[in-house]
Amino acid sequence: MLKRVCALTLVIALLLLPVSAIDGERIARRGPGGTGKLALTFDDGPHPKYTEQILAILKEYDCKATFFVIGENVRAHPELLKAEFEAGHEIGNHTDTHAMLNTVTLAKACLEVNRCANAIEEVIGVRPLVFRPPGGAYSDQKIRAITEMGYRCVLWSQDSRDWTCPSVETTIQNAKKDLSGGAILLFHDFNGACSPTPDALRALIPELKAQGYEFVTVSELFGDG
Ligand SMILES: [Zn+2]
């Protein structure tokens, strides 16, 4: 009887929760804390100008990262996607054309996600398990649908703001601000003409490693294997 009352209370409590409180758990800004693990993430590639440089730096410091790629860039540079995957990095879905989810219909959003996954699967033979909405723009409805498609949806806790092309030092300070274990760091491997990212990584990675941090993929950060 007590069990039934407890279950009923839980159901009522869930019904009374604002929808956003439930949906808020569907998109994560950081992983579990207290682990000393960090997730480096690179959005918008692959692109010949910066992806290779970043891959070389990650190899030099033996770091694993996650690349949130765009389907149309995958079709243009499949060899770079292959290089990311073969180096042991995670490939994430960032839509097919960098579609801002707050400006498209639900059907179009799902199509964008599926097209990107198809482009990835065609090159590396597996579909991605993690998704990041372009520009961090989303609605609860679309994130719920993408979660139901099997994705873990993530944003970031540290914005390097490298896409605004600040100095290398400012990029590093942005990435380190209030940093702690479980953090997800946002960078880009496609910034157009200018990018402080490779130089910032060359300084930031050894500094954070010296502090005892370990760099893992997004799925590893969440213990998804
Ligand atoms: Zn993006």
pLDDT tens by residue, 112-141: 999 999 999 999 999 999 999 999 999 999
Residues of the chain scoring pLDDT < 50: 1-24
Question: Could you tell me the residue ranges of all domains in the chain?
Answer: 31-221
CA of 186 to the centre of ligand 1 (A): 10
User: Which class is 31-221 in CATH?
Assistant: alpha beta
Helix (H) or strand (E) holding 153: strand 152-154
| pLDDT value for 5 | 43
- Specify the pLDDT at position 190: 87
Active-site positions?
A: 43, 188
Predicted structure pTM score:
0.89
**Alpha carbon of 44 to ligand 1 centroid (Å):** 5
What integer pLDDT is reported at residue 20 of this predicted model?
Answer: 38
Contact 42, 190 (CB under 8 A): no
Q: How far is the CA of 68 from the centre of ligand 1 (A)?
A: 8
Whole-Å CA distances, 212 to 8, 37, 104, 208:
46, 9, 42, 7
How many A from CA of 43 to the centre of ligand 1? 5
